[in-house]
């Protein structure tokens, strides 16, 4: 049976939108995204020098996580003999082979950029990386002394022979494979030394005795280089024949059978430990490693040639370069900025009064994240506040928000917090905070079985004039002030009664046995997000048929869900204009005649990580706007608790729509998706429009205006 989407396209003699050629492979689309991140480093002039180095680090850490999670999953399918094709027509082995080809090409580009462009540029700016072998004898002696005092005590050489089993190597570990010869008996040996992650990867030489005369020039040496050139200290009476650097990445996805997990907290803790032992999904080596050592590693780590990546240049694990951002060289970094504080500037510190006056919408990081922190902090100490309910997904390691919740519980307020223990790579932080909250008597909930809670919600109940008033904060991003400075997100503060009713019902469902599903204003996954989005797309189709004015703007991190993609294809066939701002994965193909010719897709990669989700529907001149936590992916629609919340205030709707329009006209930081799924940088034609730069300029103008008003007063 044909769905409505296929009926429409068939009747209009359009191609069948089910065909694989109309979809981009999810995994390859992510690689296209990471290429766009890499381009921020490759292209001189886009960013200051240290910011370019930062993008090398981001690209590299992104790639590590991609292998730990996505490639590991595809490898599992391949090993299980699964031959089923994805919607775009790829089998698991075809995906693995294509990923390998594309990633090797990217790694070559990355290393060429770092070694042949960025390193010389850093040197010209007085930041040098030295090699031990190139130093004079006196400086080598100084480093040997430093090695014996600061590094040698931490190292553990591990032998591999009939009496010593092959040593375990943890995820993301950097290691030296060492070929040795026993000087007494002439017997060849093999050993491994781990480069300790507890020590600085880049050793600052200026702080070491013997290098003080370097003056204003900052000099570094890689930790592994220093270890490699002092291996004789670890193996006395052995002759070091050769040492070879290698690095491995393991499967780090935690699988939890929640029905069998009596204590989810304990189960998550065990899962974190198990990450160290997951199967190896990538083995990075240098081209100089001989076949004998390579085969020994492959055999004992149980990896095939497909998982072995030769990486030239001499340094493995370039994500460590992020530490260079600690250097005090503001001339080599983005210009600092102070975000606007529109709520404080207009209403002062009384955030509750500001919210009572009208809905308050903030666009971070251009607008300060501090009002979100202050909202919780004020509630913790306000004697009229009776309760605080909040969801926490990623909050960071030193969270002022959790500290405020702890103070609120200590003050006797009712505090209920849903802490998502399954927030990948943030589990340890969340376990610590969950226990701290439980210790002071807060009600801590770990979510619904089988579902991650990704929604960003806070409800504060306050007694005012003999009645209870509910205050809401609804957001698109995490309750993390650190990411609030570098991620773009929206925050809505409101006392809207209908929204408050829905949020209260949702909290009851999260904390108790409520099976409430009839949310009146809130869109909630996994209940109705896909259904409601498709209904609003179909409504635009009807408007297009009536008046030709159908228009949809969707901004998100990823677009994967096949049903919604087909609905968008149908809307395009019916003449609806569709603008998509998709930072990362996009499985839809735009601008295909007869299928998506009315769809445009752009991706903005810049100083800030585009993280906000905004769903705008023209609705015949009565626009509707939803913001929230959900991307258009099956996991967000079916396997997570997500919310999309409506924006009712017309000025707020107009503000977001204006910002979306600016993004769609960005010709400095935006990439346009081609019909084949690849991307092209949008040409910088006059007038040049950089959406992030423009929003920064507006924030600066707000600050200037508020200072002027304060001076006038």
| Pick from 536, 563, 463, 491: nearest CA to 87 | 563
Q: What three-state secondary structure class fits 411?
A: coil
367: helix, coil or strand?
strand
Neighbour order of strands in the sheet with 280-285: 157-159, 188-195, 174-182, 238-250, 280-285, 308-310
Report the C-alpha gap between 693 and 699 in whole angstroms: 10
Q: Give the DSSP per-residue string, 168-210.
A: P--TT-EEEEEEEEETTT--EEEEEEEE-TTS-SEEEGGGSTT
Q: Taking each helix axis from N to C terminus, what angle separates 529-547 and 562-573, rounded to the nearest 10 degrees?
A: 0
Give the chain's length: 713
Tokens of 334: 């983005």
CA dihedral 344, 347, 350, 353 (to 10 degrees): -140
Q: Which residue has the tokens 């928000």?
A: 401
From 14, 454, 473, 611, active-site residue: 454
Query: Are the beta carbons of 614 and 678 closer than 8 angstroms?
Result: no
- 185 is annotated as an active-site residue: no
Who contacts 291 (Cβ-Cβ below 8 Å, separation ≥6)? none
Instruction: Return the SS3 of 249.
Output: strand
Q: Which residues contact 280 (CB under 8 A, 6 or more apart)?
A: 248, 249, 250, 301, 302, 303, 307
Which residue blocks in 574-690 are alpha helix, DSSP H?
634-638, 650-664
Which DSSP helix (H) or strand (E) runs through 26?
Answer: helix 26-42
Cis peptide before 292 (omega within 30 of 0): no
So which residues are the catalytic ones?
454
């Amino acid at each position: 049976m044909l769905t409505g989407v296929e009926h429409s396209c068939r009747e209009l003699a359009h191609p069948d939108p089910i065909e694989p050629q109309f979809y981009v492979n999810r995994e390859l689309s992510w690689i296209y995204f990471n290429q766009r991140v890499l381009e921020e480093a490759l292209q001189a002039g886009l960013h200051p020098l240290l910011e370019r180095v930062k993008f090398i680090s981001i690209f590299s850490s992104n790639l590590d996580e991609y292998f730990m999670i996505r490639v590991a999953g595809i490898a599992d399918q391949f090993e299980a003999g699964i031959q089923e094709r994805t919607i775009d027509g790829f089998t698991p082995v075809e995906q693995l082979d294509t990923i390998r080809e594309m990633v090797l090409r990217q790694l070559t580009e990355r290393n060429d950029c770092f070694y042949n462009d960025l390193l010389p540029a850093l040197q010209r700016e007085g930041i040098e990386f030295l090699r031990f072998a190139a130093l004079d004898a006196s400086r080598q002696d100084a480093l040997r002394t430093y090695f014996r005092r600061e590094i040698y005590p931490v190292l553990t050489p591990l032998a591999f022979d009939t009496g010593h089993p092959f040593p375990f190597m943890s995820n993301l570990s950097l290691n030296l494979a060492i070929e040795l010869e026993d000087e007494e008996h002439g017997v060849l040996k093999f050993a491994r030394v781990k480069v300790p992650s507890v020590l600085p990867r880049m050793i600052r030489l200026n702080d070491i005795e013997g290098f003080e005369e370097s003056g204003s020039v900052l000099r570094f040496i890689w930790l592994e280089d220093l270890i490699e050139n002092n291996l004789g200290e670890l193996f006395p009476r052995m002759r070091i024949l050769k040492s070879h650097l290698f690095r491995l990445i393991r499967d780090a996805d935690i699988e939890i059978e929640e029905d069998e997990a009596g204590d989810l907290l304990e189960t998550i803790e065990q899962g974190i430990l198990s990450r160290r032992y997951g199967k190896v999904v990538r083995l990075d080596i240098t081209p100089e490693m001989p076949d004998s050592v390579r085969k020994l590693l492959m055999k004992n780590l149980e990896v095939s040639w497909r998982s072995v990546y030769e990486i030239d240049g001499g340094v493995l694990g370039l994500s460590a370069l992020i530490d260079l951002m600690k250097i005090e060289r503001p001339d080599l970094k983005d210009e600092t900025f102070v975000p606007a504080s529109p709520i404080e500037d207009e209403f002062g510190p009384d955030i509750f009064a500001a919210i009572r006056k009208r809905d308050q919408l903030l666009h971070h990081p251009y607008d300060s994240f501090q009002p979100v922190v202050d909202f919780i902090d004020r509630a913790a100490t306000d004697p009229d506040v009776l309760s605080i309910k909040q969801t926490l997904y990623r909050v960071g390691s030193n969270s002022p928000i959790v500290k405020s919740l702890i103070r609120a519980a200590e003050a006797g307020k009712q505090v209920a917090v849903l802490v998502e223990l399954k927030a990948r790579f943030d589990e340890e932080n969340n376990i610590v905070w969950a226990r701290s909250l439980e210790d002071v008597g807060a009600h801590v909930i770990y979510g619904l079985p089988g579902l991650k809670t990704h929604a960003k919600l806070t409800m504060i109940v306050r007694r005012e004039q003999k009645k209870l008033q509910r205050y809401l904060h609804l957001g698109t991003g995490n309750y993390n002030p650190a990411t609030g400075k570098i991620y773009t997100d929206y925050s809505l503060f409101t006392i809207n009664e209908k929204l408050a009713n829905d949020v209260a019902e949702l909290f009851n469902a999260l904390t108790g046995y409520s099976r409430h599903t009839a949310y009146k204003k809130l869109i909630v996954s996994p209940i109705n997000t896909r259904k409601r989005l498709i209904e609003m797309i179909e409504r635009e189709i009807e408007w297009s048929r009536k008046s030709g004015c159908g228009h949809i703007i969707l901004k998100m991190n990823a677009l994967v869900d096949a049903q919604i993609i087909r609905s968008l294809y149908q809307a395009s066939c019916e003449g609806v204009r569709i603008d998509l701002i998709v930072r990362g994965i996009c499985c839809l193909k735009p601008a295909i005649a007869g299928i998506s010719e009315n769809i445009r897709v752009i991706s903005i990669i810049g100083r800030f990580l585009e993280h906000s989700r905004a769903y705008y529907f023209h609705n015949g001149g009565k626009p509707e706007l939803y913001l929230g936590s959900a991307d258009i992916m099956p996991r967000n629609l079916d396997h997570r608790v997500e919310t999309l919340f409506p924006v009712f205030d017309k000025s707020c709707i107009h503000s977001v729509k204006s910002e979306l329009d600016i993004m769609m006209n960005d010709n400095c930081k935006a990439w346009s998706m081609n019909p084949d799924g690849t991307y092209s940088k949008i040409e910088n034609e006059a007038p040049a429009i950089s959406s992030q730069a423009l929003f920064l300029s507006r924030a600066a103008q707000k600050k200037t205006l508020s200072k002027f008003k304060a001076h006038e007063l």
